[in-house]
Structure 1
Amino acid sequence: MPRKPDPTRKPELLGRILEHLAGRTLATVSFRTLAEALGVSTYVFVYHFGNRSQLVDEIVRAIVARQDALLAVDPVDLDEPAWLQFIETAWTEVSTPYNLQLMRLEYEAAMLEMIDGDAGGIARSAVSRWQAFTKDWCIARGLDADVADVESRLFTDTIYGLQYDALATGDTERVTAAFRLHVRAFAARVRATAAAAV
């Protein structure tokens, strides 16, 4: 009788794979290179992930899922001070050196999805999840849905650009100062726009 699979093994492997990839690219992923790096047999990866494509999909899902807990918060429940605190906490979390490396892998995955024509790709959906989250907050603050759509895109896309800056330059202190200015300006603009609409 075959052994029952260990349900903790696959998540444990994914965690080790992400740590291994922190200084590498998705292009380097193969069962052989991972087996050598992690000291396990290639059979283990075939058993848990199927083929290379499925493995890469699981890696990208794990990268994007690191933000699930943040996005589980209902933005409608956040007043402006709570929103500012939430975004500051989120920035602190995603701006650690390790998470910036995961962001780099997310960017790489999104570019590969674009090349493959995968419009609904896992990595590409991360941006739209944050845009929808921010749009919900804007609407709850009193913005018209069309205005909230533009504001949420501007806010989110600027944050992604700042993360790219932090990753590319390593100057997280100056990037964080720009982030804080951006967040305060956004909140003030949302407040003013909502007040003008009354």
Structure 2
Amino acid sequence: MRKLSLSSIPFEKIGRIGRLQRLLICAGTFLVLTGAFLFLIYLPKTKAIQELKSNHELLEIKLVKVRAAAKNLRRFQRQCKEAEAKFELALSLLPDKKEIPGLLEAISKSGKDSGLEFLLFQPGKEVLKDFYAEIPVTIQVCGGYHNLAMFFGRVATLSRIVNISSLSMKATKQSGERLSASCVATTYRFLEASEIKAIAEAKKKKKKKRKK
């Protein structure tokens, strides 16, 4: 390999180069260096910066979505807890199948203790819902206004839910002070697992028949 020595550099020729040529050489050198900087350093870094910026924006969008999802999840969990609490409360207020005879007896006893004369106390057919059943009881009683008010007050304070509906009152022929009243007392009970399963199967069969 040939060694480069200072004696081989034509300084005399370089010294004779005109000012314009020197400016052109300097300008060319500057352009070459500038181009090298642009293509080798600046442009690659600019591209990398743009990619990082785009990734950052995407991450920010994802972060906003994640925060929104987390907020919705917390709200959903809170709603589930509230629903569970309400369900537990309803569970404590609705009797099971074994308790119904005792509850009906308690309703009847409330009327007798209030001084009412029962003309009719007839439990009706259960109306099945998704997870509970309605048990309507047709009641006809005779007594004073205050006796009726006392009866309804006692029914309202029972440990189980009893709704009074279809209430009608009229004075008796024997005495204007005595009233004849009729109403429907509806109580509720939770269905057993086997009953809920039977209802679900019956619904499936109905859907299949409709599709056919």
- Greater relative contact order, per chain length (Cα 8 Å cut-off, separation 6+): 1
TM-score (norm 2): 0.22
**Larger Cα Rg: Structure 1 or Structure 2?**
2
Structure whose residues are more often strand by fraction: 2
TM-score (norm 1): 0.23
